[in-house]
Amino acid sequence: MSEDPRSELYAELAAVGPYGTHPGHALITMVEPHPGHEYAYNRWYEDDHYYAGAMAMPWIQAGRRWVATRDLQLLRYPEKSAIAQPVTAGCYLSTYWITAGRYDDHMRWTVAVNKRLNRDARVYHDRTHVLTAFQNHEATVYRDGAAGPRDVHALDHPYTGLVLQVVEADTPEQRAPLLQWLRTRHLPKRLAGSPAALVTVFSPTPLPGDRMTYVKQVEGVETRLTLLWFLQTDPRECWDPHFTALDVAVTESGLGRVELVAPFIPTVPGTDTYVDRLR
């Protein structure tokens, strides 16, 4: 097989541009397989899409899949969520870190690859994207200061749970004060003595116009913040009091509202563990 002469560009591209370890961006995608397609979806995502549609792409430096069994879904709130209708929708969550400064480069590749995968019938269509957005990193708050894993390690460290929280500012002008309040006041207080080692905060970016048609355009680009709480305890064992009433605290700040608080546990790669507990 003759080598594609364009592969020489890899050497040129590797010699320029940012290549640090800081996760400057993320892909966060919460998906609901259609009823009756849970096993097939799980196998397609784990065996094919997790790699071909994400990890094999340039500048994705880490990834992890999470699952919400039915008992975890029933812990979610608020009941009337702008993110998930019903609030239990979206039983699989995938999270990926993207190298800081490489967002545009990655987006060019991911759009092209997903068009190719779709053309080659390697996209599983019996699913609904409940929340899918590329995101910019805004802040990371640590429970233990300099001790413990950094945010760059969060998707590789063996955390036993994750809580996805989506917060909405009332206006675009209020998002910066909301972020400041979260970063300096609310999150340090909530993390102290909790089972969460760190919280990462992201803001969503609009998807490109040439995205795949089955992924809806991102809402709340100017007002929304997405928080990922990384837990050292199963969320079912610590939900109350650590993760109840997060919506009350945000509302009382006068800066915004909570649209989703949803717990997950990590999947077991290469298996169908938990698939029979989704409904």
| Token reading at 70 | 């039915």
Q: What are phi and psi of 48, to 5 degrees?
A: -125, -65
The pLDDT value recorded for residue 215 is 64
- Alpha helical stretches, state H, the chain: 8-14, 38-44, 50, 70-73, 103-119, 172-181, 187-191, 235-242, 246-253
Instruction: Output the CA angle 48-45-116, nearest 5 degrees.
Output: 55
**104 and 178 Cβ atoms separated by less than 8 Å:** no
How far is residue 142's CA from residue 198's CA, in Å, rounded to a whole number?
A: 4
pLDDT by 10s per residue, the chain, length 279: 557 888 888 889 889 999 999 999 999 999 999 999 999 999 999 999 999 999 999 999 999 999 999 999 999 999 999 999 999 999 999 999 999 999 999 999 999 999 999 999 999 999 999 999 999 999 999 999 988 899 999 999 999 999 999 999 999 999 999 999 999 999 999 999 999 999 999 999 987 766 556 566 778 899 999 999 999 999 999 999 999 999 999 999 999 999 999 999 999 999 999 999 999
CA 119 to chain centre: 26
Work out whether the CA dihedral 43, 209, 82, 132 comes out positive or negative: positive
Question: Token pair 């995205």 is at which residue?
Answer: 211
Determine the Cα–Cα distance for residues 82 and 169; give it in Å rounded to an integer. Answer: 13
**Residue 213: predicted pLDDT:** 60
Closest by CA to 109, choosing from 57, 62, 52, 63, is 57
- pTM score: 0.95
The token pair at 34 is 């259609």
Mapped onto helix, strand or coil, the DSSP state of residue 124 is coil
Give 260's contacts (C-beta < 8 A, 6+ positions apart): 76, 78, 81, 82, 83, 84, 87, 131, 164, 165, 166
Q: What pLDDT is recorded for position 165?
A: 98
